Structure 1
Amino acid sequence: MTAVLDVARLQLGAWRWLVFGWVILALSFGINLAIATLGDASFTSGGVAVVPIFGTVLASALVSQWWPFAAGLSVTRTRFLQANLLLAVAVAAGTGLVLLALTALESATDGWGRSLVYFGVFTAADGPGQEWAALTSLYLLAWAVGVLFAAVQKRWGGTGTAVGIGLAVVVPGAVVALATVLDWWPAIGRWVEAQTVTGAVLGGVLLAGLLFGSGWLVLRRAAP
């Protein structure tokens, strides 16, 4: 466990990526607050989505930039990814707590005095515990996407990355087209409405585990 913690601390050298994400979030919040100030009605923004996006960016940077450095120090792939997963859980949990605190402050100030809903987007959550779990699982899922993306890039280079991005675009597009042609949307809507936040959180964690495990399998045959 001590060795894993040492490798996790090594990966903390990428803290600038994490700080950069919060800087972008602050700028996005400032812009949305200015827009809400200019308007008369309540304003709901999706700008907080930048947080999981930067989770993906941070995870990808750690694998693509810091794994070669760690490998040069004789850190194995398994040890590196164990530390990466530990770091992912810690960062996701901390991020969830910060966003939960900002959501509470937003609610206490009636949307920052401008009826702005920026952080409190998980209105379906039943209490702060569930909301924190939803935020944390979403960040973990985004992180796992970044790990898999970087692993594919390391294993197959630009060609693998292009194919992966293409599949990520084409497959969902094909599913959407098929659902439209076969008129599945009403049934899909009913299924979504029947889901609980707890179920969504568990599903997100399972999917994150699947993506992270896939990244580990790909990285096993990749060169640093």
Structure 2
Amino acid sequence: MNRVNQVVKMHLRNKFTWFLVPWAILGANFLINAVIATSLNDGEVVNTGAIASIFIYTLITGTLTLKETFPFAIGLSIRRKDYFFGTALTVLLVNTISGLAITTLSAIEQATDGWYVRLHLFELGFLKDLPFIGIVGINIILLVNLYFIGFTISSLHRRFGSMSMYIFFTAALLIGTITSYTLTHFGLWVEIAHWLANNYMDLFWWMIPMVGVYMIISYGLLRKAAV
């Protein structure tokens, strides 16, 4: 446990990556859109997808963590197992804080009718009927899920090298192309959109076991990965 805590402390020393950059990006998006909403000043609702920036950043962070910290941790004689669980604990801690912050800002946004200028950046309309704790949970699940998708991809690269990335992304592109063609050919896009609109909560619940799947895969890859 001491080594796991050591890994957590190692990660949290890098406050720039874990905290400052994502919230600086989100803060800049908020200020820009607030200026736009204020300048309109005609009662028009300003909807923006800028909140997606912190989720995308979390995915990218997952792909970069190994490159920046794994060799250093192994050089300090930290076991791969301790590195992995220390990283997972850090991810849960950081994204719990982020999930709480996002949901709190969303509640403030809703209470002030969009910061008094009808600006909707943090609030997701299809979640507004859920209780506060439910929205917090969904935000945390989504952030952790995205992080471990990136972490798993990075673990694959660490284990098998650059060629694995060519194979992985080529396969992903091929599967995506075939799927898109099939859905277009049989006219299934509208049906899928309706299904998603009615069952999006089920997708969030499925993200919980998927995090476990990503963790198992990435841990298995890291056990034999080169430093």
- TM-score norm. by structure 2 comes to 0.89
Task: Compute the displacement of 1:75 (Å).
Answer: 1.3
Contact 1:92 1:136 in 2 (8 A): yes
Instruction: Supply the AA of the counterpart residue of 1:171.
Output: I
Q: 2:195 aligns with which of 174, 183, 191?
A: 191
**Matching of residue 45 in structure 1 with residue 48 in structure 2:** yes
Q: Secondary structure at the match of 1:168?
A: helix
Q: Structure 1: any 5+ residue segments left out of the alignment?
A: none
Report the number of matched residues.
223
1:28-75 CA-to-partner distances (Å, cap 9, x unmatched) read 111222222233310111111111222122222221110100001111
Q: Secondary structure at the match of 2:225?
A: coil
More deviation in 106-115 or 129-138? Answer: 106-115
Distance 1:35 1:169 in 2: 37
Task: Compute the displacement of 1:8 (Å).
Answer: 1.4
Report the equivalent of 1:83.
86
Task: Compute the displacement of 1:220 (Å).
Answer: 2.1
Q: Percent identity?
A: 23
Contact 2:155 2:218 in 1 (8 A): yes
Task: Compute the displacement of 1:23 (Å).
Answer: 0.7
Contact 2:3 2:78 in 1 (8 A): no
Distance 1:167 1:91 in 2: 32
Q: 1:123 aligns with which of 113, 123, 126?
A: 126
**Matching of residue 96 in structure 1 with residue 107 in structure 2:** no
Report the equivalent of 1:3.
3
Q: Secondary structure at the match of 2:103?
A: helix
- TM-score norm. by structure 1 comes to 0.90
Contact 2:50 2:121 in 1 (8 A): yes
RMSD: 1.9
Compared CA separation, residues 30 and 170, structure 1 to 2 (3 A) = farther
Distance 1:110 1:194 in 2: 26
Q: Secondary structure at the match of 1:126?
A: coil
Distance 1:25 1:91 in 2: 16
Compared CA separation, residues 17 and 180, structure 1 to 2 (3 A) = same
More deviation in 35-44 or 75-84? Answer: 35-44
Task: Compute the displacement of 1:188 (Å).
Answer: 1.9
Contact 1:52 1:139 in 2 (8 A): yes
Instruction: Supply the AA of the counterpart residue of 2:146.
Output: A
Contact 1:152 1:215 in 2 (8 A): yes
Task: Compute the displacement of 1:122 (Å).
Answer: 5.0
Q: Structure 2: any 5+ residue segments left out of the alignment?
A: none
Distance 2:173 2:14 in 1: 29
Q: How does 1:59-208 map to 2 (within 5 A)?
A: 59-121=62-124, 123-124=126-127, 126-195=130-199, 197=201, 199-208=202-211
Q: Secondary structure at the match of 1:47?
A: coil
Task: Compute the displacement of 1:172 (Å).
Answer: 2.5
Task: Compute the displacement of 1:120 (Å).
Answer: 0.4
Q: Secondary structure at the match of 2:126?
A: coil
Task: Compute the displacement of 1:187 (Å).
Answer: 3.3
